[in-house]
Amino acid sequence: MTMQKLKEWNEQIEAGLLSVTSSICGEVNYPICDFIELLHMVFPQLYVEIGFVNNVLVSFYLFIDDQVEVPTDENVVKIATL
């Protein structure tokens, strides 16, 4: 599959010559990075975005664990009586 073939396929879908359900490997839109030629696979953009978000969440949770102090029962009682 070349980038040109993928673009031609998309043009045929937009022209109504092909149905979207008969798309190649699930691709129905123009590629985001068309300067990188496809060799044997399509870039899994969704999985990469999910991985980025997971890394951010893990870093956030680790930051919270390091910075937030869990109050002891004694401190909770003191705050409740104020």
22 and 39 together in one domain: yes
For 65-80, what is each residue's pLDDT tens digit? 889 888 888 888 887 7
For 21-35, what is each residue's pLDDT tens digit? 555 556 556 666 667
Rounded alpha-carbon distances, angstroms, from residue 41 to 27, 61, 78: 11, 34, 61
The type of residue at 35 is F
39 and 57 together in one domain: no
Token pair 């839109």: residue: 29
35 and 58 together in one domain: no
pTM of the model: 0.40
49 and 81 together in one domain: yes
Mean pLDDT, to the nearest integer, of 14-43? 65
Residue-range definition of the domain harbouring residue 52? 44-82
Count: domains in the chain: 2
1 and 38 together in one domain: yes
52 and 74 together in one domain: yes
